[in-house]
Amino acid sequence: MEIKHNFGKQLSIVKNDGPGDASLMLAEGGSYLWIGGIPASRYQGWFFKSGQGLVKIIDDIRINDAAPVSAIENNVWNVKRSGKDFSQTFFLPRRDCLVCETGKPARMEFYFDVKEPYQNPEFGRIYKVWRENEIIIISYRQDVPMCMPEIFIAITGDISDVLVAEEWIERDYEFDRKRGSRPWKRWVCRPLAVTASCVVLAVAANKDEAERTARSCWRGLGKVKEEKNKKSVLRGALFFGNCSDDVLAKKCALRALSMLVAPAGPVRGLRAGLPWFFQFWQRDEAVCLPELLKADVSLAKEIFWRQLGELKAKDFDFDTADGIGWLFFAAAGFIGKGDFDIKEAAIVQNCLERALAVLLEKYTVNGLAIGGQKPTWMDSLDRSGASIEVQAQRLAMYSLAARFAPGKNEKERWLESERELAVSARLAFFDGHRLADRVDVSTGTPDFTARPNIFLAAYLYPDLLEKAEWARCFEYALPQLWCGWGGLDTIDKSDPRFCGKDTGEEPTAYHNGDSWFWVNNIAAVALNRLDKKKFSGYIGKIYEASKKDILWNGAIGCASEISPAESYAPTGCANQAWSNATFLELCRELKK
């Protein structure tokens, strides 16, 4: 597969031997398009942002009797796939419109699979097709209980011929099959085909609105394309200068992160990932906030204040063991940049103190910070008790509270809390050359299983250990966790629980083997801050593996979720928010 990134004149890079399963992704206003050479997942296609949810509309648009796809191209505002005798360019002018262009008239076959993302109805799926005022109208409804509302799709363009002939095709989704994600077989509908070189599809809850949107988009198509192209070329000229793959990967990651921005009620949020992680998860957003703060202050503040409002609404007791810590770690970044005014800083201070009061009352045992039964980011495992990164988060929160303190006595109170926890954590977790992953607070027994959470702890609160002590811990853990291709296992390779192969939706390897790009990136940041010369080999390999993933694997231009430990094969969620954000932070750390 030939893969190309094109950010404007003289700003492109090509790989002629890219993986055959590489794919393309676009997003606009909460809607997204994900396509590959052939449909490989039921999460591929065009998904329309409808209210607070998503509705899949198109499974694929194919050129009749075309050769296999042999090249794909990321053009920032549009994506292109092509073969020996055809090309298709797609873009989203707005959240409720999809445009497909072929350059010359071609027979386009439309495959529909209208459904909600997590629902897979088999029966009672009814499509109707008719022409009205030179517009093709398709209605869809589910003739089953608890069905979604009827939806309408309007199609227009330079259409010269229409063939209406309902046909059902069974898909066998290879990507879903490999992940064990059922159902990986599904029937989709081909209700019509048209001959055209450009078509516009618009979707709405009623026919008239769909028709109006399609007409409006078709009439203004030239202007929209000109504006989007001008904007992308301007950005290329502004940011690139010369187009090294380092710079290109960085800009791709920023673009991929922007794809995940979507309405979250009255403000914006950052989805955890596309496809299938459509939610606005507090931990995932918070991990991304330090980099969002540098890229888009307004967006970062919207997310932060929404998160803080949700935290207050839940009386400062969140659903995860580590969500609160990541949020207030991000708050420290806002303060460092001076992005809080006096009134805002007072609100954050009050919320921080209330959060710490809850944590001290409900989630502190024998002087250690615990998560109770709430999951850490390793949510497929039971890490109840005291985990190392949660100690680091609590220490960072105490430090932040001391910075906020209005008087000497208040400041000293928080500093004393910080000192006490630091002493307790050292005694409980550190044996002189190893740092435990967790401690059973009922017995005081440390679990010295090597896991990459020690790197999160060093990143969150580097003052827990002296530099020489951190170095000993890292030198002890790295050989047990290191993947030769440039990542970290999620558990010691000699542990009987280790699984080197990815197991997809079955979680055996998820946190007991799979290598997570966001953790790898943070580990490289922590190693670089500690001793960039000593750990240069690890840092460089992590960076190159993450860069290669963004440029040439999965949804090209997007950072993947994971890779199996035993071999470099990026997989999981194709565009993962914290993988993109932490790669950008690593680039900044390394001055790329």
- The string of pLDDT tens digits covering residues 345-358 is 999 999 999 999 99
- The pLDDT score that the predictor gives to residue 40 is 97
Mean pLDDT of the chain: 94
Q: In whole angstroms, what is the distance from residue 580 CA to residue 576 CA? A: 7
pLDDT higher than 80, residue 448: yes
Q: Average pLDDT for residues 430-455, to the nearest whole number?
A: 97
Tokens of 214: 């399609």
CB 122 within 8 A of CB 109: no
| DSSP state letter for 433 | S
- The pLDDT score that the predictor gives to residue 335 is 87
pLDDT higher than 90, residue 127: yes
- The pLDDT score that the predictor gives to residue 233 is 55
- pLDDT tens, position by position, 387-430: 999 999 999 999 999 998 888 999 999 999 999 999 999 999 99
SS3 512: coil
- pLDDT tens, position by position, 255-265: 999 999 999 98
- The pLDDT score that the predictor gives to residue 243 is 65
- pLDDT tens, position by position, 474-515: 999 999 999 999 999 999 999 999 999 999 999 999 999 999
Angle formed by the axes of helices 245-259 and 221-239, nearest 10°: 140
CB 528 within 8 A of CB 535: yes
pLDDT higher than 60, residue 200: yes
- pLDDT tens, position by position, 294-344: 989 999 999 999 999 999 999 998 899 999 999 999 999 888 778 888 899
Whose tokens are 């794909």? That residue is 72
pLDDT higher than 50, residue 376: yes
- The pLDDT score that the predictor gives to residue 9 is 62
CB 201 within 8 A of CB 91: no
CB 307 within 8 A of CB 323: no
Amino acid at 53: G
pLDDT higher than 90, residue 108: yes
Alpha-carbon Rg for the chain, nearest whole angstrom, is 25
- The pLDDT score that the predictor gives to residue 180 is 96
Q: In this structure, are strands 69-74 and 2-6 parallel, antiparallel, or unpaired? A: parallel
CB 439 within 8 A of CB 368: yes
Query: How many CB atoms neighbour CB 241 within 10 A?
Result: 10
DSSP states along 461-505: -GGGS-HHHHHHHHHHHHHHHEETTTEE-SS-TTSTT---S--TT
- pLDDT tens, position by position, 219-254: 999 999 998 887 765 454 444 455 688 988 998 999
SS3 157: strand
- The pLDDT score that the predictor gives to residue 146 is 67
Query: How many CB atoms neighbour CB 126 within 10 A?
Result: 13
Tokens of 577: 């928010």
Q: Which of 551, 550, 523 is nearest to 539 (CA)?
A: 523
- pLDDT tens, position by position, 63-95: 999 999 999 999 989 999 999 999 999 999 999
Rounded to the nearest 5 degrees, what angle is found at the Cα of 56, between the Cα atoms of 50 and 60? Answer: 140
- The pLDDT score that the predictor gives to residue 240 is 47
Q: Which of 430, 458, 435 is nearest to 529 (CA)?
A: 458
Q: What is the pTM of this model?
A: 0.96
- The pLDDT score that the predictor gives to residue 94 is 95
- The pLDDT score that the predictor gives to residue 271 is 97
Instruction: Give the pLDDT band of residue 10 (cuts 50, 70, 90).
Output: low
Give the E-state strand segments of 133-256 in sequence order: 135-142, 151-157, 161-172, 185-204
DSSP states along 513-578: TPEEHHHHHHHHHHHHHHHTTTTHHHHHHHHHHHHHHHHHSSBTTS--SEE-SSS---BSSSEEHH
Largest CA distance in the chain: 80
CB 445 within 8 A of CB 438: no
CB 359 within 8 A of CB 404: no
Q: How many residues does the chain have?
A: 592
Q: Which of 319, 317, 457 is nearest to 388 (CA)?
A: 457
Percent of the chain with pLDDT over 70: 97
Q: What's the count of helices (H) and strands (E) in the chain, helices before strands? A: 15, 28
Amino acid at 462: P
Q: Average pLDDT for residues 427-442, to the nearest whole number?
A: 97
Amino acid at 2: E
Q: Is there a cis peptide before residue 183, judged by omega within 30 degrees of 0? A: yes
Query: How many CB atoms neighbour CB 566 within 10 A?
Result: 19
What residues pair up with 3 in beta bridges, in sequence order?
15, 72
